[in-house]
Amino acid sequence: MSDLLYNRLLLNFINVKNRLESLLNLYCINEYRLDIKELQISIGFVSNLIDKLQYELKLTDNLKPFSNHSLCNNNWTWKKIQQLDMKEQCLNLEFLALLRLQTLATCFDEFDEQKFLKQTTDFNINRQYHSNKMMKFIDETKSTIACDHMHINKPSSSSSSFIPQYDLNKNLLDLPQEILLRIFSFICPCELISNIAPTCRLFANLILTCFYSHLDLSPLISIYDVPRLFNHLSCLQSIRFIDWKDNISILTWSIWFDILSRKTSNLKKIHFRNIFISPILICLLIEYFPHCLETLIFDYQQNNYCYRNFDLILCLLGDKNIKLKNLTASYQLGITNFGILQLVKNLNTLVELNLVNINTINDQSIKVLCDKHNVYLEILRIDGAQLTDKALDYIAQCHRLRKIMIEFCINMTGSNFSIFQNFPKLEELYLSALNNISSESFQLLFNKNYTFKYLQCLKLDEYHMIDDNCIRLIVQSCPHLIDLTCSLAYNVTDEGFNEIVIRCNQLQYLTLTGCNQIYGEILFDVPEKYLKSIKYLNFDKCNQIEDFILIDLFQRTKFILIIDSYGSLIKL
């Protein structure tokens, strides 16, 4: 057996150690004592792992087959790693079934529950007994796949490009690969993996190696089967790791990333949800995907898995040698201005930055961000608790901005709100806690002399000064709104509400939480006459709207989601 995989693992952990030591030197200069201690612990952990790997490499070839020494808490041994280095691996029916289960679980998580139940029937995804159901599914589909004698385990240098040799026009399998892929492009991923891939080996290979570009990976599959699954997904462009709540060792992550980096050269996006993040994990990401990874998303982590010193992560990601362009780290703990500055100073290009609920962002952070990335920045979502009007002047440099979200604008006066007109392609604008904004400042944002041609989503939360005149200005300035939110606008009456209903012809989502002077009698003409595209109405705490008006609307349409004044979804 070749030692190539082992050598790659060892080399990358040595590079990780060097990267952590460089960051340690930076923190020693700035005297971040708590961070220094954590970095020293991480370096010690990596050093110990390097020692274990080097010990296994020093064993003679005669002793290696008998080595069963556990290298980490996930019980990886030399023998298990050896099995991963096999050059030829047949597509396993169990992996196909597990991939189907992963896809169906995603449907359940993100789409209509009824659709999911209809597709799965007796297929239960409860982890406690999914194994029995999985084997039942394999038994049921095995005969279907086994009957395809012409396409199972055909020797070929590239199984995905194998085209069976039949007479012309004999059956579907004679079509060129490009046409089959074109046909598959009209079928949803859930149907592809559930119904098309099990049909034959050719279809399975085409879908997995040429079409399956996104994977949601959850613990429905063993950590030892993940690398084998990656071996069959060579066109992955994005992957989301979901709910791996068990302690996944650093060696496990390294093995996974090694397989991924060798099997796909186009992995652009990685998303972590309920995964324990550590500096070592981030270093491994940088080592394995420096030139292809463009997007990193860190979802809000549950308490037991929430990394509480995310400043270290930002400092590590602030690397001139990586291609990272889009970062989401909202609601993470331990982020300071130092980490933000290291990130924005050192990254070559930032197109999207999401740091919502990070209240350490200040005017200096925004200045450095906009001075460095004003040519590239398109999406900016941040916390505005420490931002003043100066921050908006800096943001005005970023003419390519399409989506802007600033929460808790408590220190802004709105005197320079006209800067939002500097963004000709603005599609989404979200401002909240506009407590100190006068109606005059509001008119700088929306006036008759400027039209937001591309603005589709406008959310103004907790802005008490909005009245009917403001609503009229919004409707005139934003003719293409699809999503509108005006919460706690106590001065909006039926006059303003009627303006929205009559003139916002494309509106699909409307939220007017706390607008308690609206009676809403015009809703009797929705959607027959007005708001013909409406899908969602939220009238929570709109106490003047009678229940029978909303019930009548629901009974006439049934496809509109309606929230009543009690915050409840209206049902039959």
Tell me the two tokens of residue 527. 């959607």
pTM: 0.83
Higher pLDDT among residues 142 and 95, named by residue: 95
Asked if omega into 65 is within 30° of 0 (cis), the reply is: no
d(CA 238, CA 264): 10
With both helix axes pointing from N to C terminus, report the angle between 113-120 and 93-110 in degrees, rounded to the nearest 10.
160
Write out the E strands in 219-268: 238-242
d(CA 235, CA 208): 8
Burial of residue 373, with CB atoms counted within 10 A of its CB: 0-12 exposed, 13-18 middle, 19 or more buried? buried
What domains, with CATH codes, occur in the chain? 176-207 (no CATH), 465-571 (3.80.10.10)
3-state secondary structure 106-140: HHHHHCCHHHHHHHHCCCCCCCCCHHHHHHHHHHH
Question: What's the rounded mean pLDDT across residues 166-175?
Answer: 66
Q: What local confidence, expressed as pLDDT, does residue 559 receive?
A: 86
d(CA 202, CA 501): 53
44-60 pLDDT, tens per residue? 999 999 998 888 777 65
Q: Give yes or no for residue 456 having a pLDDT over 80.
A: yes
Q: Give yes or no for residue 214 having a pLDDT over 80.
A: yes
- Percent of the chain predicted with pLDDT > 70: 81
Strand partners, 362: 386
Alpha-carbon Rg of the chain, whole angstroms?
28
The answer to whether 104 and 220 have CB atoms below 8 angstroms apart is no
Q: Name residues whose C-beta falls within 8 Å of residue 27's C-beta, 6 or more positions apart in sequence.
A: 35, 36, 39
d(CA 58, CA 76): 18
Higher pLDDT among residues 88 and 457, named by residue: 457
Report the half-sphere exposure of 439 (CA within 13 A, side-chain side).
12
Q: How many CB atoms lie within 10 A of CB 196?
A: 18
Q: Give yes or no for residue 127 having a pLDDT over 50.
A: no
Q: What is the mean pLDDT of the chain?
A: 83
Q: Give yes or no for residue 419 having a pLDDT over 80.
A: yes
Burial of residue 289, with CB atoms counted within 10 A of its CB: 0-12 exposed, 13-18 middle, 19 or more buried? buried
The answer to whether 181 and 211 have CB atoms below 8 angstroms apart is yes
Confidence of residue 81 (pLDDT cuts 50, 70, 90): confident
Q: Name residues whose C-beta falls within 8 Å of residue 370's C-beta, 6 or more positions apart in sequence.
A: 377, 394, 395, 397, 398
- 99-113, 116-130, 526-540, range with the lowest pLDDT: 116-130
Among 354, 304, 312, CA closest to 334? 312
Confidence of residue 266 (pLDDT cuts 50, 70, 90): confident
Q: What local confidence, expressed as pLDDT, does residue 31 receive?
A: 64
Place of tokens 């159901």: 133
Tell me the two tokens of residue 285. 């990401």
Confidence of residue 86 (pLDDT cuts 50, 70, 90): low
Question: What's the rounded mean pLDDT across residues 315-334?
Answer: 94
Question: What's the rounded mean pLDDT across residues 439-465?
Answer: 90
- Percent of the chain predicted with pLDDT > 90: 51
Q: Give yes or no for residue 548 having a pLDDT over 60.
A: yes
